[in-house]
């Protein structure tokens, strides 16, 4: 090891050196710019209220929202709303995947099956999931079930289409190569078609998760007992305005948490997509 390298290595090993590196990372140009944009945003928000801009004067002050968030975060009730919403997403989303992936794969694999099922599917697909709310409330025995159903609708169609296209986009050469090497239909399915359509299936999950949250919040506001959407709506009717903002931010956080989870699952399921 040459002298110069050991000198260059040294700062990282001592505690003060590590702190130095941490500081450098923390106060990087990118982070500083990000911080500035956040500060400007909050400052604008504050000014809008201070200067009495028409229509926007009902906005709560940023510090009121922060105080409300802090006091909410220590209550069990607040976290119960989180749990309720996450559970509803979980149930509807999982069922959508369990039914959507096999159905989509089947449509992609069998032309006959697709010709039978796809037209009816295409009539229902363009209906926005939120448009299902009245009917869902009407025909499911409990509100809870109708919310699961609506979340399911939000994620289901997207997954069917993605799984189907995933199979269809697999190059015929790969299937031919597998057949030549002696693969039987079950090998073709488990070793070629399924892993080959996985990138498309994961995309279907990512997009579906976004739509599922949209639908969930609308459904909760209209029909649910509890949940992040419901509590946000109720704070409107109770005129607890700071909590409306807290609710909104919570919904955003919960949604991105779910997206991160889906992306993590995708990475674990597809080790071949990482470059090194």
Give the binding site for another protein (CB under 8 A).
171, 173-174, 176-184, 187, 191-192, 195-196, 198, 270-273, 275-276
Shortest distance, CB of residue 274 to another protein, whole angstroms?
A: 8
Q: Judged by CB, which is closer to another protein: 91, or 170?
A: 170
Shortest distance, CB of residue 101 to another protein, whole angstroms?
A: 16
Q: Judged by CB, which is closer to another protein: 37, or 173?
A: 173
Buried b (16+ CB within 10 A) or exposed e, 6-28: eeeeeeeeeeeeeeeeeeeeeee
Handedness of CA 227, 233, 236, 238 (dihedral sign): negative
Q: Judged by CB, which is closer to another protein: 198, or 262?
A: 198
56: helix, coil or strand? coil
Residue recorded with tokens 């579906």: 208
Shortest distance, CB of residue 189 to another protein, whole angstroms?
A: 12
Shortest distance, CB of residue 176 to another protein, whole angstroms?
A: 5
Q: Judged by CB, which is closer to another protein: 62, or 199?
A: 199
Q: Judged by CB, which is closer to another protein: 196, or 226?
A: 196
Q: Judged by CB, which is closer to another protein: 55, or 276?
A: 276
Shortest distance, CB of residue 259 to another protein, whole angstroms?
A: 23
Shortest distance, CB of residue 97 to another protein, whole angstroms?
A: 19
Buried b (16+ CB within 10 A) or exposed e, 104-140: bbbbbbeeeebeeeeeebeeeeeeebbebbeebbeee
What ranges in the chain are assigned the alpha helix state H? 3-13, 15-26, 29-50, 62-73, 76-109, 111-124, 133-139, 143-168, 172-180, 185-187, 194-223, 228-237, 241-269
100 φ, ψ to 5°? -70, -40
142: helix, coil or strand? coil
């Amino acid at each position: 090891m040459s002298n110069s390298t050991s000198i260059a290595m040294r700062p990282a090993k001592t505690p003060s050196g590590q702190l130095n590196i941490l500081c450098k990372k923390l106060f990087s140009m990118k982070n500083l710019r990000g911080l500035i944009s956040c500060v400007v945003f909050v400052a604008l928000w504050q000014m809008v209220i201070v200067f009495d801009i028409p229509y926007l004067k009902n906005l709560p002050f940023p510090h009121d929202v922060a105080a409300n968030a802090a006091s909410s975060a220590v209550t069990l009730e607040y976290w119960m709303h989180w749990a309720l919403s996450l559970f509803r997403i979980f149930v509807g989303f999982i069922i959508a995947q369990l039914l959507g992936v096999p159905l989509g794969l089947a449509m992609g694999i069998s032309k006959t099956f697709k010709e039978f099922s796809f037209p009816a599917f295409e009539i229902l697909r363009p209906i926005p999931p939120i448009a299902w709310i009245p009917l869902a409330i009407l025909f499911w025995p409990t509100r809870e079930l109708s919310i699961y159903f609506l979340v399911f609708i939000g994620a289901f169609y997207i997954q069917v289409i993605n799984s189907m296209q995933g199979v269809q986009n697999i190059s015929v050469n790969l299937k031919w190569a597998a057949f030549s090497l002696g693969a039987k239909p079950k090998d073709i399915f488990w070793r070629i078609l399924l892993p080959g359509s996985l990138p498309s299936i994961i995309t279907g999950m990512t997009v579906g998760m976004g739509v599922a949250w949209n639908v969930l919040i609308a459904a909760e506001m209209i029909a649910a007992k509890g949940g992040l959407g419901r509590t946000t709506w109720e704070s409107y009717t109770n005129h607890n305005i700071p909590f409306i903002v807290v609710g909104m931010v919570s919904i955003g956080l919960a949604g991105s948490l779910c997206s991160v989870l889906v992306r993590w699952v995708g990475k674990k399921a597809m080790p071949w997509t990482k470059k090194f």
